Amino acid sequence: MSNATKSSLIKKCLIGLLVFVIVNFLCLKLFNYGLKQYYCLWPADILVIGHSMSEMAIDRDLLEERTGHSVAKYCMNGTSIPDRLVMIRHYIESTGHKPKAILYDIGPRSFSGGLAVNSHALFYPFINESPAVADYVRSSATKREYYLKMLVPLSRYDDSRIGAVIRGYRHDWKNRSVKKLNLEELKQNIEKNNYWKTTQNPERQKLFEETLDFLEEQDIHVFLLHLPNVDLLNNAEKDKNMVVINYIKSITANHPNVTFIDANSAFESRYELFIDPLHLNPKGQQEVTTFLADKISLPKQP
Amino acid sequence: MLFTEINYFIFLIASALAYSCLPQKCKGWLLLAASYAFYAAFDWRFTFLLLGQTLLCFFCAKYRQTALAVILSILELAFFKYFNFFNDSFRLLFESLRLPYLIPHLDILLPVGISFFTFQSLGYVIDVSRSKIQPEYDLARFALFTAFFPQLAAGPIGRADELLPQFKEAKRPAVQQINDGIQLIIWGLFQKMVVADRLASYINRAYASHQTANGGTLLLASIFFSIQIYADFSGYSDIARGSAKFFGIDLRNNFNFPYFATSIPDFWKRWHISLTSWFRDYLYIPLGGNRVSKPKWIRNQLVVFLLSGLWHGANWTFIFWGAIHGIFNLAHVMFFGKKNESKSRIANFLRCAVTFVIVNTAWIFFRAPTFKSAIQIISRIMTHPGRPTFGVAQVTFALNVIAIIILFGVDFAAYHGFTGQRCPDAIRIPGYALLACLIALLAVSSRSFIYLQF
C-alpha cells in the first residue's frame, strides 16, 4: 500500500468520522430539546412523577387549567421507585427549580418487581444533563454500555424516546389510545394466574421512604396518588393490596408534607374508562384529572 | 461471536492488523487460527467436526475418493440436521400403522454452519474429480479454505478455484478493498440491525397470534418477512464479504437485487447465488441438466428445488417452499421460455410484482412453524380482511417503514448503476456516515441470524 493511497483512505475515514460526529452532535441537540419539551423539564408549580399509569391518567393541560398552577409532567413507561427519585433529582438539577408540589403515583404494585429491569436505559438521553442521572446510569449500566452511550450520542435514543421527541415538538401530551379493555381476556388471565402480582420489596419501601424524607427536606408537598386499576385485578389479591395501601397510609401519617389521594375507589369499576387493567383511555384521563384537580390544594405560601 | 457484536469487530480488527504485520508465510496460519477460534466461540466441540470434514475432503480429493467424501459428508449432514426429522416422520408413520417403533428422538445440537462448510468442501472434492482444479497439497491452506471465518457460519459458499489462489497469494489488502470492506460492513449492519431485526418483532407477534390476527396484519407480516429474510441474509453476506476484504480476499456476491426479479427463474439467479450455483453445478448438471428428455428435465428441476428446500431445514414447510418455487420455475420455463424481461417498463413492473407475490406466498411456508399454520395464515389473509395493526407503537411502525424505504431506495439506485465510480465520494462518504448514524439510532439486535440455523 503506497503512502498516497494510505493517506487517501485515512482522509476518507476521517471525513466520514467527522460527518458522523457532527450529525450525532446536531441530532443530540435537536432530540434533547424535543424530549425536554415532552417531559416538561421546565420550572413549574406542580411536578407529576410516575410511569405509564400517570402518563395516561393525567392530562397536563387540564390539570393546569383546573388548578391554576403550572404543571410539568415527567412520566416515563416502566419507571419504578428508584427511577423516580432520580427523576425528581434530575428535574431539580436541570431546571434549577423546586416545584411547590409533586404528584407521585403509588399503588399496591409499586413495591413489586415486573417493571423494566433495565430502566436505567430510559435515562440515557439525559446522561450529560444532571449528576443524578449520570451517577445512576454509571452505576446501573455495564461499562461497555455506558461508554458506548457516552461516545455515540444517537445510541441513547430508542423508539419510545424518538416518539417522545416528536410529541415534545408538537406539545402533545394527550392520551391518544383507542384500545378497549378486554374483560374476558382479563378474567381468563386472572384465572390462569397470569397478571402483575403484588409483592413487597423492603429495599424499594426503604427507598420510597427516603424519597419522602428528601422531599420533606426540600420543603416540597407530596400528593401520593393511588391511580385506578380495574377492580377485577384489585380483587384478585385484595388482602395483599390492602396491606400495601395501609403501609402507604401509615407512611403518609408520619410525614406532614404528604397527602394521600385515593382515585382508585371512585373509578375501579368504570370499565369504560380503561384500555387495559392498569391504564386509562382519553375519557378516563379527563375524568381522573378533573377528580384530582379538585383534590389538590397547594399549601399557602408563608 | 456474531457479526453484529462489538466483540466480533474487535476480533476482526485485531486479526486484520496482525495479518497486515505478519510476514507472508505466516499470514495463512494466522487466519486459520483466527478461523478456528471464531468457530470455537460458538461451541468448541464442533471444531473437531470442522477438522474432520476438512481432513475427509482433503484426503479424498488427494486420493480421488470422491464417492467416499460425498457419502460420508452427506451422512454427517444427515445425522446432525435430518436425523430427527426422518426419525420422527417414520415414528408417525409406524404409529399410524400401529406398528412398534423403537428409535427414540435424540437431542442433537446443530453445529453452526455445517451446511455451508460441508457444501464448500464437497464442491472442492467434486471439482478435483472433474479435473477442474488440481488437488491442494497444503493441508493448512485447504483447512483455511474450509474454515475461513467470514464465510464459515453462513456463507457465501465459496469455490476452490476462486478462493485457494487468493489464500496462496496471501497478499495485503488493497486500499480499495479496505474501502469497500468498510462500506459493505456498514451497509450489512444497516440491513441486519435496522431493517431485519426491527421487523422481527412485528413478524414474530403476527405469526405467533396467527389464529386471531386479521388478514391485513398477517399479509403485512408476510411482506415484512420477505423483507426481513432478505435484509438479514444479504446483510450477513455483506458483512462477510466486507470482513474478507480486510484480508485481501474477495468473496462472491450472494444477492443481486432479488426482489427486482421479473420471474421465478430470474429470482433464483439473484437469490442466495452461491447456493443456487452450487446446486446447478454439482447436482442439476450431473443429473443431466436441460440436455435430457422433458420428463427427466422436469425431474431434475424438481429434485434441485426440493433438495434446496430440504437444505434449509428439516421440516416439511421448507420442502413445500422448495416445491412452490420448483413448480413456478417449471411453469415459467414451459410457458415463457427463458424470456425474463420485456422492453416495456410497465410490463416489467407487473412481472416484478407477480414474482414478488409468488415469492412472498412461498415465504409464508418458510416462516410458519408448521404446514397447518401456513395454510391457516393464507386462509385468514383471504377470508379475514382488516386494517393491519401498527404493532407495538406507531412510531416504531413509521421508523420501520422509513428503514425499508432506505433499503429499497439504495438497492434501486444500485440496481440502476448509481454505485462505484458513478457515485462520487462527496455523496458516498457522507452517505455511509449517515447510515452509521441511523445504525446508532435505530439498531436493535435479535442476537441471531436467520441463516445461522441452516
ipTM score here? 0.80
Are the beta carbons of A159 and A166 closer than 8 angstroms? no
Q: What is the pLDDT of residues B260-271, one digit of tens each?
A: 999 999 999 999
Are the beta carbons of B341 and B365 closer than 8 angstroms? no
- Residues of chain A contacting B399 with CB distance shorter than 8 Å: 159, 162
**B429 has a chain A CB within 8 A of its CB:** yes
Total Cβ atoms within 10 A of residue A247: 15
Distance CA B10, CA B17 (A): 11
Q: What is the pLDDT of residues B16-43, one digit of tens each?
A: 999 988 888 888 899 999 999 999 988 8
Q: What is the mean pLDDT of chain B?
A: 88
- Residues of chain A contacting B21 with CB distance shorter than 8 Å: none
Instruction: Flag if B440 and A24 touch (Cβ within 8 Å).
Output: yes
Model confidence at B452, pLDDT cuts 50, 70, 90, reads low
Q: What is the mean pLDDT of chain A?
A: 87
**B423 has a chain A CB within 8 A of its CB:** no
Distance from CA of A80 to the nearest CA of B (A): 21
Q: What are phi and psi of A260, to 5 degrees?
A: -100, 130
Are the beta carbons of B154 and B240 closer than 8 angstroms? yes
Q: Is residue A7 classed exposed, middle or buried when 0-12, 13-18 and 19+ CB atoms within 10 A define those classes?
A: exposed
Total Cβ atoms within 10 A of residue B307: 15
The pTM assigned to this predicted structure is 0.85
Res A302: pLDDT = 46
Distance CA A149, CA B247 (A): 31
Q: Which of A24, A144, A160 sits opposite B437 (nearest CB)?
A: A24
Chain A residue with Cα closest to B437: A20
Distance CA B308, CA B286 (A): 16
- Residues of chain B contacting A13 with CB distance shorter than 8 Å: 182
Chain A residue with Cα closest to B6: A144
- Residues of chain A contacting B9 with CB distance shorter than 8 Å: none
Chain B residue with Cα closest to A8: B175
Res B454: pLDDT = 55
Distance CA B428, CA B420 (A): 9
Res A290: pLDDT = 93
Inform me whether the pLDDT recorded for B51 exceeds 50. yes
Distance from CA of A2 to the nearest CA of B (A): 9
Q: Which of B175, B430, B434 sits opposite A1 (nearest CB)?
A: B175
Q: Which of B6, B179, B392 sits opposite A9 (nearest CB)?
A: B179
Q: What is the pLDDT of residues B170-201, one digit of tens each?
A: 788 888 888 889 999 999 999 999 999 999 99
Q: Is residue A202 classed exposed, middle or buried when 0-12, 13-18 and 19+ CB atoms within 10 A define those classes?
A: exposed
Q: What is the pLDDT of residues A137-155, one digit of tens each?
A: 998 888 888 998 889 999 9
Instruction: Flag if B395 and A19 touch (Cβ within 8 Å).
Output: no
Q: Which of A154, A155, A163 sits opposite B395 (nearest CB)?
A: A163
Distance CA A196, CA A52 (A): 15
- For residue A3, what are the CA distances in angstroms to A7, A9, A12, A105? 6, 10, 14, 64
Q: Which of A8, A13, A144 sits opposite B6 (nearest CB)?
A: A144
Res A224: pLDDT = 92
Instruction: Flag if A23 and B172 touch (Cβ within 8 Å).
Output: no
Give the 3-state DSSP-derived string for chain B, with helices as H, strands as E and coil as C.
Answer: CCCCCHHHHHHHHHHHHHHHHCCHHHHHHHHHHHHHHHHHHHHHHHHHHHHHHHHHHHHHHHCCCHHHHHHHHHHHHHHHHHHHHHHHHHHHHHHHCCCCCCCCCCCCCCCCCHHHHHHHHHHHHHHHHCCCCCCCCCHHHHHHHHHCHHHHCCCCCCCHHHHHHHHHHCCCCCHHHHHHHHHHHHHHHHHHHHHHHHHHHHHHHHHHCCCCCCHHHHHHHHHHHHHHHHHHHHHHHHHHHHHHHCCCCCCCCCCCCHHHCCCHHHHHHHCCHHHHHHHHHHHHCCCCCCCCCHHHHHHHHHHHHHHHHHHHCCCHHHHHHHHHHHHHHHHHHHHHCCCCCCCCHHHHHHHHHHHHHHHHHHHHHHHCCCHHHHHHHHHHHHHCCCCCCCCCCHHHHHHHHHHHHHHHHHHHHHHCCCCHHHCCHHHHHHHHHHHHHHHHHHCCCCCCCHHHHC
Distance from CA of B444 to the nearest CA of A (A): 9
For chain A, list the domains and their CATH numbers: 38-295 (3.40.50.1110)
**Of residues B449 and B12, which shows the higher confidence score?**
B12
CB pairs under 8 A between A and B: 62
Inform me whether the pLDDT recorded for A1 exceeds 70. no
Residues of A near B (CB-CB distance < 8 A)?
A: 1, 5-6, 8-9, 12-13, 15-20, 23-24, 27, 144, 148, 152, 154-155, 157, 159-160, 162-163, 166
Q: How far out from the chain centre does Cα B47 lie? A: 22
Q: Which residues of B are catalytic?
A: 312
Inform me whether the pLDDT recorded for A115 exceeds 80. no
Task: Please give the grid coordinates belonging to residue A108.
Answer: 399496591
Q: Which of A144, A154, A162 sits opposite B440 (nearest CB)?
A: A154
In the block, cell 401519617 appears at: A253
- Residues of chain A contacting B441 with CB distance shorter than 8 Å: 27, 154-155, 157, 162
Distance from CA of B393 to the nearest CA of A (A): 8
Distance CA B255, CA B277 (A): 12
Q: Which of residues 381-410 of B touch A (CB under 8 A)?
A: 392-396, 399
Distance CA B294, CA B301 (A): 10
Chain A residue with Cα closest to B438: A154
Are the beta carbons of A155 and B440 closer than 8 angstroms? yes
Distance CA B110, CA B451 (A): 13
Inform me whether the pLDDT recorded for A135 exceeds 80. yes
Res B219: pLDDT = 93
Pick the range with the lowest mean pLDDT from A24-28, B279-283, B331-335: B331-335
**B182 has a chain A CB within 8 A of its CB:** yes
Q: What is the pLDDT of residues B224-238, one digit of tens each?
A: 999 999 999 999 999
N-to-C CA span, chain A: 77
Q: How far out from the chain centre does Cα A31 lie? A: 18
Q: Over pLDDT 90: what percentage of chain B?
A: 48
Task: Please give the grid coordinates belonging to residue B133.
Answer: 482444479
State mean pLDDT over A45-67: 91
Inform me whether the pLDDT recorded for B392 exceeds 80. no
Res B289: pLDDT = 81
Res B143: pLDDT = 94
Res B96: pLDDT = 85
Sign for the CA dihedral angle at B135, B139, B140, B146 comes to: positive
Instruction: Flag if B441 and A6 touch (Cβ within 8 Å).
Output: no
Are the beta carbons of B187 and B240 closer than 8 angstroms? no
Instruction: Flag if B179 and A12 touch (Cβ within 8 Å).
Output: yes
Instruction: Flag if B393 and A9 touch (Cβ within 8 Å).
Output: no
Distance from CA of B381 to the nearest CA of A (A): 23
- Residues of chain B contacting A17 with CB distance shorter than 8 Å: 433
State mean pLDDT over B309-332: 88
Q: Which of residues 305-344 of B touch A (CB under 8 A)?
A: none
- Residues of chain A contacting B443 with CB distance shorter than 8 Å: 155
Query: What are the domain boundaries of chain B?
Result: 6-170, 177-262+341-453
Chain B residue with Cα closest to A161: B395
Res B187: pLDDT = 94
How are strands ordered across the β-sheet holding A101-105? A71-75, A46-50, A101-105, A221-226, A258-262
Instruction: Flag if B436 and A166 touch (Cβ within 8 Å).
Output: no
Chain B residue with Cα closest to A179: B389
Q: How far out from the chain centre does Cα A169 lie? A: 19
Q: Which of B392, B437, B443 sits opposite A23 (nearest CB)?
A: B437
Instruction: Flag if A20 and B172 touch (Cβ within 8 Å).
Output: no
Are the beta carbons of A108 and A81 closer than 8 angstroms? no
**Of residues B421 and B288, which shows the higher confidence score?**
B288
Q: If phi over 0 gives left and psi between -120 and 50 gives alpha, with beta otherwise, what is residue B142?
A: alpha
Q: Over pLDDT 90: what percentage of chain A?
A: 37
Q: Which of B175, B436, B441 sits opposite A8 (nearest CB)?
A: B175
Q: Which of A16, A18, A152 sits opposite B440 (nearest CB)?
A: A152
Inform me whether the pLDDT recorded for A272 exceeds 80. yes
Distance from CA of A12 to the nearest CA of B (A): 7
Instruction: Flag if A9 and B172 touch (Cβ within 8 Å).
Output: no
Instruction: Flag if B174 and A154 touch (Cβ within 8 Å).
Output: no
Distance CA B339, CA A193 (A): 61
Sign for the CA dihedral angle at B178, B179, B182, B187 comes to: negative
Distance CA B318, CA B208 (A): 18
Chain B residue with Cα closest to A148: B440
Q: What is the pLDDT of residues B146-175, one digit of tens each?
A: 999 999 888 799 999 999 999 888 788 888
Distance from CA of B399 to the nearest CA of A (A): 8
Total Cβ atoms within 10 A of residue A145: 16
State mean pLDDT over A159-184: 88
Which residues, listed in sequence order, are joined to residue A221 by a DSSP beta bridge?
Answer: A101
Res B101: pLDDT = 82
* Beta pairing, strands A101-105 & A258-262: unpaired
Distance CA A273, CA A275 (A): 7
- Residues of chain B contacting A5 with CB distance shorter than 8 Å: 174-175
Res B421: pLDDT = 61
